[in-house]
């Protein structure tokens, strides 16, 4: 969970041991808890393949949509081989928005390169070269740093989880005063 770039970790609750509160029409609820913030409650809808779900926070004064995906096999697969990913990051602020879309190449050895288009408060930075680095641990979690080759833009630092058997990355920015999340997909 990110609150203005401050990352906290927590857990989700179950209705009872080894079950989740999901009805026969594939809808249900999910609650995330952590030590720093109140519980966050969500309504969820399981997708047709039963490999993921869409969710929206149901607490008063919130507007937090999201999704969950199956992690897949334990072999995350980012180390040792070059792979291309299409990216999509988005945030909405009361005063505007920021979005990024493009393609990155992970070289299999911890470095990345690519091109991204950035939309920042109505200004478009079209197909800017990016470089950076990434890590991945045995639990399919890691970090990503994306640095644009434009002095008007700053580096973005993310925590990531590898899902969909290594074909997709879920990312959340960890820089102060940010609330950016997105995906990178093969």
Q: Which one is the CATH code of 83-185: 2.40.160, 2.60.40, 2.40.128, 1.20.1740? A: 2.40.128
Does 15 have pLDDT greater than 70? no
Max mean pLDDT range (13-17, 41-45, 82-86, 119-123): 82-86
For the chain, the domains span: 2-69, 83-185
Question: Beta-carbon neighbour count of residue 109 at 10 Å?
Answer: 11
SS3 159: strand
Q: What pLDDT shows up at residue 172?
A: 87
Q: What is the pTM of this model?
A: 0.73
Which DSSP symbol is given to 164? G
pLDDT grade, residue 179 (50/70/90)? confident
- How far is Cα 105 from Cα 59, in angstroms, rounded to an integer? 38
CA-atom Rg of the chain in angstroms: 17
Enclosing H/E stretch for 19: none
- How far is Cα 146 from Cα 90, in angstroms, rounded to an integer? 15
Contact 101, 116 (CB under 8 A): yes
Share of the chain above pLDDT 90, in %: 28
Does 68 have pLDDT greater than 80? no
- How far is Cα 120 from Cα 117, in angstroms, rounded to an integer? 10
SS3 81: coil
Segment 80-116, tens digit of pLDDT: 789 999 999 887 655 557 889 999 999 999 999 999 9
The rounded mean pLDDT for the chain is: 80
């Amino acid at each position: 969970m990110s609150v203005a770039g401050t990352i906290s970790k927590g857990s989700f609750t179950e209705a009872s041991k080894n079950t989740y509160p999901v009805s026969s029409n594939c809808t249900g609820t999910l609650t995330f808890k952590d030590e720093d913030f109140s519980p966050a409650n969500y309504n969820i809808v399981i997708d047709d393949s039963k490999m993921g779900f869409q969710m929206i926070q149901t607490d008063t004064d919130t507007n937090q949509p999201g999704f969950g995906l199956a992690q897949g096999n334990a072999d995350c697969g980012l180390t040792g081989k070059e792979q291309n990913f299409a990216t999509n990051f988005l945030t909405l602020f009361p005063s505007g928005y920021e979005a990024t879309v493009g393609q990155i190449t992970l070289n299999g050895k911890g470095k990345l390169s690519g091109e991204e288009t950035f939309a920042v408060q109505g200004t478009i930075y079209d197909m800017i070269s990016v470089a950076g680095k990434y890590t991945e641990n045995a639990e399919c979690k890691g970090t990503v740093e994306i640095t644009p080759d434009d002095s008007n833009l700053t580096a973005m630092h993310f925590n990531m989880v590898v899902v969909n058997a290594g074909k997709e990355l879920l990312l959340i920015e960890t820089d102060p005063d940010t609330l950016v999340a997105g995906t990178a997909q093969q």
